[in-house]
Structure 1
Amino acid sequence: MRKEWFMAAQADGVATEGVSRRTFLKAGSGLVLGFYVASGGGRFARALAADAPAKPPVAPNAFLHIAPDNTVTIQVNRLEFGQGVHTALPMLIAEELDADWSQVRSSLAPAGDPYKDPNFGIQMTGGSTAVKHSWQQHREIGARARAMLVAAAAEQWKVPASQVRAAKGMLTGPSGQSATYGAMADAAMKQPVPTEVKLKDQKDFTIIGKPTPRLDARAKSTGTQQFGMDFKPEGTKVAVVARPPVFGGKVKKFDASKAKAIPGVIDVIKVDTDRGGNGLAVVANGYWPAKQGREALVVEWDTEGLEKISSKKQIAEYKALAKKAGTPVKKADVAAIAKAPRKISATYEFPYLAHAPMEPLNCVVDLKGDSCTIWAGSQFQTLDAVAAAKAAGLAPDKVTLNTMMAGGGFGRRAVPTSDYIVEAVSVAKAWGRGPVKLIWSREDDIKGGYYRPSHVHQADIGFDAKGNIVGWNHVIVGQSIITGTPFEPMMVKEGVDATMVEGMGDPYSVPMNLSVHNVKANVPVLWWRSVGSTHTAFVMETLIDEAAHVARMDPVEYRRKLIDPKHARQLAALNLAVEKSGYGKAKLPKGQAWGVALHESFETSVAYVVVASIRNGQPKVHKVTAGVHCNLPVNPMTIEAQVQGAALMGLGTTLPGAAITLKDGVVEQSNFNDYAVARMTDMPVVEVFTVASTDNPTGMGEPGLPPLAPALANAVFKLTGKRVRKLPFDLAKA
């Protein structure tokens, strides 16, 4: 019988008692090693304790699998949707394991207690935390496995463990003995699990810090990678849902006769949708007949009593509110503004934004009498599994959620309400005749929420005769993305959503008086790649640039002067970007100009120096030089890719048409023909440089996005003399 080894490691911590001998559990043709896991948990775990399933006394925690042929398969406990964790996390384990990287494989772990984030206490992917939070945990997984392999070899060869060497998947002894990890795996199973392990010194790293091609690159580049959208078990029916045009609307009456007449359409079922509404699920043999059936439905919707947002009116109301002080966040004396000889008064507008990933939402549900199996590209496996259980009327331990590879997400697959998961379970429950695959079209995805909130900023800044800032009064208006979610107790204090004000004032020493108005609106809102920094960075970095102009100083020198010493990492990122770009030294072609911006989000500092011009009335970015301070770079290739992708996405927010607008409660955009995203033709040259550091890594999925738009806006000012105060850019009105 072929035997395979599954190695466990701690999630929230390992109990020191009862771990010297393990319980063996048969798992197909392999063996599973499990040990007791402490019942701790992070702040999110405590917030979710009422709904989360209880931890079993023994957790298999299967992260690491060594096969007889010496291949090492590492279970990735996050969602891989383009950010590179399918490679970066295995690198952490493989480094301490001393594995042969050419023999390392990775696979996505299902939802499970062992796979919860050791800091948050739930299984999730978000906040640019995957590598940061796994840094210690995953290295210990590899180190424990290595120690057990060494101990097994020492026992067989009757030599001290100190005389056994492990390297590149091989064990060697003092007298020339040798064995592969695969050959020694079963014997290693019989060794005690070390309660403490010594991790490598960074100077001994052979994998971490090295540019490493992604393990999923070949499958994705050859079209053989299976995404959630590709998965359809035999016998599965496809469903699409007709949702109300106004959020929270309900079906008043409908006629499905024309829909049911379409070949392939099996049934039309009323189902609950998100935010208290309901809709009609068209179940068919495939997506095309289901879509045609939905288009043939005759539906009258009940939207009575619902707030019907219109974007123009909303922005006008936000602007009026921004003239008044809100809930205080930072307090400073701003009385000097009134008598200041020079002033800036600026109003900024930001629209709703859709996430618009390449792969729209999808979910397969196989709901049986006493069990529910789900296949989805979930960012919130723990929350989604619990929500699915509730929707199905089952105990949480009766739900199996398989994590599928996803084609983007940018936050849309991490919804506290688990909207698309719950909807898919509701359809399967109503259908009741086998597995169902719920598919959202691109139009569904863009029109159906959730969105980055719209915001208005009002800034009033006063300067003395020498150009020094004597007062800065700032008001922000917008919806909270945290209020009403499980994260509210931790992230909403005294009525202020921490994400709305992140980065305001930083990294500069300025006398800012900051307040906010958290408004409510019948538009579902959610985090969007880099969250509040999508608007705060733009405001801060364009205003600082404008302040430099008032002070008659070079924008880079002005920033250096104002950066608080405690923000040395941001200064280092700025200096690196400036040095590598040739800013102020290289001569640019006629019609081109520099633009600079920097911002820190998720503990990572990114500075951009862009070179741009104006073509046909629109800005064109030719080159971006990035200075990045993310501490120790685990995989430089991933960091470069993340910055390049984030820079392009940030550029996308400036393009004409990059806005979600509503009229009478209905979203006006539906697809890429009327909702702009950046394309290959928009991509500039992006060079990425990282600040040398040996500190533990910080996040990289999101921090590359915020500084791009303000850097471009600052270049636009140099080219046109116009200050851009609105996204997307409209130079005709600037």
Structure 2
Amino acid sequence: MIIDRYLQQALAEAAAQATQLSRRSFVTMTVGGAVGLALLPLASEGVRAQQADLPPGQKPTEQPAAFVSIGQDGTTTVLCNRMDMGQGIETALAMICAEELDADWSKVRTGFGDQRGNYVDPMLGMHLTGGSNSVKNSFTQYRELGARTKAMLMTTAAAQWKMPVSSLKAQNGRISGGGKSAGYGELFDAAMKQPVPEKVVLKDPKDFKLIGKPTGLKVSRDKSTGQQAYGIDTKLPGMLVAVIAHPPTFGARYKGFDASAAEKIKGVRAVLAVDLDRGAKGIAVVADGYWPAKMGRDALKVEWDTSAVEKPDSAKLLAQYRELAQSGGKLAPGEAFRADVSKRAGAPNKLSAEFVFPYLNHAQMEPLACTVNLKADSCELHFASQMPGVDTDAVAKSTGLPAEKVSIKVLMGGGGFGRRAVPSSEYVLDAVSVAKALAASGKRAPVKVMWSREDDMKAGYYRPMTVHRADIGFDAQGNVLGWDHRIVSQSIVMGSPFESFMVKDGVDATTTEGMRGPYDVPMRLAVHHPKVNVPVLWWRSVGSTHTAFVMETLVDEIAQATQQDPVAYRMKLMGGKHPRHKAALQLAVDQSGYG
């Protein structure tokens, strides 16, 4: 995802406007102004509290006790402030913390935070796993968490032993000095009562013992032996399992249903009408386990009413998209996309191309599942969430509970690719809807709502179908004289809380991500955002899943047409700019044996 890039850009723009303001006025403007208005719907009460003007060491994201716990035997648990779905950040962040803590790595364990403000991204001020920003944004944070924890442990030891801190040494989970020695676990409880230091001295990178060294994932053994628990594996006392019969068209509703056959299946406890995402209404079958719930759903007889919703047709949509791609559209913001392309008409060489990308399901290895324990005065959820703060506020609104009465136990995810970060909290609210209906029927119990692979394929969210149309003119040397380009694609952020800072001049920034740059070509880029009754969502690298393929293919086409080496041609198009892109390309050439 590229949300972090636009959040940081929005904050930078606000900062530029605030040069004449006091610090407090600037904080008020950025938190309560345009940027704040965009973020407030995404933030839980804890996140909003974190925005307060607190001194160093006092912010929720800087509190060692929220991230580190050490048992009497020295077992050290470091909580990850995000969701791990296979990218390894659960281990990576623990390593970063343990490095500065000087912990015994063999005794370090990992876990996850929750929806509280301690676990927001410290750079963005919201809960988010995405955009490849986990280590980048939390590197210093976790180093300081480790250093602060160690400082508090050493202060405690110094007080107990009545000697100066400077005479003590911390190493491999122990503190020693003056002939005395104690494990971290012996000091931890008392240390957490110490004031959190404002400033700490971090290690010189040359002294790192963990960071940058070959280190296996803490979860490798459990994953390779089938012991790792994922969101779908949640088990609670008295828990029931539910599956949902979704309508055949997005947003449709049932007209009527016959549950008699389903109710006869052993293990089925209830058949309930439920409100679903996008105004749809479906039927949930609740049972003692997944299989009886599925068998019960298969036995349902449902009459669906699709009269009030659009029924998308792939062939008709493609024809419509192709027509739109011929002309018009909203110009993408920025001078880079508004070049004069009139010279294309007289160019000696011309290239026209069309690219079609279908709707794509995320198809993450672990299908969706969300366990809801809804009580009269609280709601606890267990699932793999990429945005627990967003999900918390959505659940609070759905249940009528205060946000502080909603808790999310973030669990390991078996893949995500963006599917577990839905701005509408779609599958989470579907699960809450089942829990509410179950409680209303007098059968309140924890319930795990599970999606089969088929459910997600048919009723999930998708990468948008996209059509690109390019008309390019160039000379015999491959100099581009004009590149006229149109993209037709649904917006994935319009109508969501992200719209206010990710849509500019009517164009969704995720749609144009990856276009033109790093190549210095005169491009006119226009975008059509048709509204279609298909729910869409970011999909792995978002815009680059289609734009990168289009750009690189067209650059290859021009290089081939002008009989140039494609690597040399790319280097020429980048000119004297983009040294990192050039270095990456050169490294690929050097390591691959190209040429």
Q: TM-score, normalised by structure 2?
A: 0.88
2:148 and 2:180 map into 1 onto residues whose CA distance is: 22
**Equivalent residue for 1:252, pick from 255, 259, 279:** 255
Structure 1 stretches of 4+ with a deviation exceeding 4 A read 38-46, 50-53, 56-61
* 1:334-353 deviations in Å (ceiling 9; x for gaps): 11111111111111100010
**Equivalent residue for 2:505, pick from 490, 494, 504:** 494
* 1:95-140 deviations in Å (ceiling 9; x for gaps): 1112121111101122212111112222221121211111121111
Name the structure 1 match of 2:23: none
1:564 and 1:376 map into 2 onto residues whose CA distance is: 48
Preserved contact between residue 143 and residue 197 of structure 1 (Cα < 8 Å): yes
Q: Please give the residue correspondences for 1:88-487 in structure 2 after superposition, counting only pairs within 5 Å.
A: 88-173=92-177, 175-329=178-332, 330-432=337-439, 433=443, 434-487=445-498
Residue 1 of structure 2 is aligned to residue 49 of structure 1: no
Name the structure 2 match of 1:698: none
Q: Which amino acid aligns with 1:393?
A: G
1:120 and 1:487 map into 2 onto residues whose CA distance is: 13
2:379 and 2:485 map into 1 onto residues whose CA distance is: 50
Q: Which of structures 1 and 2 has the larger relative contact order (alpha carbons within 8 angstroms, sep 6+)?
A: 2
Residue 515 of structure 2 is aligned to residue 504 of structure 1: yes
Q: Please give the residue correspondences for 1:64-75 in structure 2 after superposition, counting only pairs within 5 Å.
A: 64-75=68-79
Give the direction of change, closer, same or farther, for the CA distance of 1:427–1:98 in structure 2 (3 Å limit).
same
Unpaired segments ≥5 residues, structure 1? 1-37, 585-734
Preserved contact between residue 308 and residue 522 of structure 1 (Cα < 8 Å): yes
2:567 and 2:190 map into 1 onto residues whose CA distance is: 61
* 1:291-315 deviations in Å (ceiling 9; x for gaps): 1111111111111131111111111
What is the deviation of 1:320?
Answer: 0.9
Preserved contact between residue 226 and residue 405 of structure 1 (Cα < 8 Å): yes
Q: Which amino acid aligns with 2:249?
A: V
Q: Which amino acid aligns with 1:122?
A: M
What is the deviation of 1:41?
Answer: 6.6
What is the deviation of 1:50?
Answer: 5.2
2:187 and 2:236 map into 1 onto residues whose CA distance is: 37
What is the deviation of 1:156?
Answer: 3.5
Give the direction of change, closer, same or farther, for the CA distance of 1:41–1:147 in structure 2 (3 Å limit).
farther
Q: Secondary structure at the match of 1:424?
A: helix
Name the structure 2 match of 1:577: 588
The answer to which structure has the higher helix fraction is: 2
2:573 and 2:460 map into 1 onto residues whose CA distance is: 40
What is the deviation of 1:189?
Answer: 3.0
Name the structure 2 match of 1:546: 557
What is the deviation of 1:212?
Answer: 1.3
The answer to which structure has the higher strand fraction is: 1
2:241 and 2:193 map into 1 onto residues whose CA distance is: 48
Preserved contact between residue 171 and residue 179 of structure 1 (Cα < 8 Å): yes
Preserved contact between residue 44 and residue 392 of structure 2 (Cα < 8 Å): no
Unpaired segments ≥5 residues, structure 2? 1-26, 51-57
**Equivalent residue for 2:568, pick from 548, 554, 557:** 557
Q: Which amino acid aligns with 2:89?
A: V
* 1:624-674 deviations in Å (ceiling 9; x for gaps): xxxxxxxxxxxxxxxxxxxxxxxxxxxxxxxxxxxxxxxxxxxxxxxxxxx
1:50 and 1:78 map into 2 onto residues whose CA distance is: 19
**Equivalent residue for 1:526, pick from 530, 537, 561:** 537
Give the direction of change, closer, same or farther, for the CA distance of 1:52–1:342 in structure 2 (3 Å limit).
closer
Across the aligned residues of Structure 1 and Structure 2, the Cα RMSD in angstroms comes to 1.9
* 1:347-384 deviations in Å (ceiling 9; x for gaps): 11000100011111111111111111111111110111
Count of aligned pairs: 546
1:243 and 1:50 map into 2 onto residues whose CA distance is: 28
What is the deviation of 1:421?
Answer: 0.8
Q: Secondary structure at the match of 2:533?
A: coil
Q: TM-score, normalised by structure 1?
A: 0.72
Q: Secondary structure at the match of 1:407?
A: coil
2:101 and 2:31 map into 1 onto residues whose CA distance is: 26
Give the direction of change, closer, same or farther, for the CA distance of 1:78–1:44 in structure 2 (3 Å limit).
farther
Preserved contact between residue 68 and residue 182 of structure 1 (Cα < 8 Å): yes
Q: Secondary structure at the match of 1:306?
A: coil
Preserved contact between residue 42 and residue 126 of structure 2 (Cα < 8 Å): no
Name the structure 1 match of 2:54: none
Identity %: 56
Give the direction of change, closer, same or farther, for the CA distance of 1:265–1:312 in structure 2 (3 Å limit).
same
Q: Secondary structure at the match of 1:548?
A: helix
2:121 and 2:418 map into 1 onto residues whose CA distance is: 17
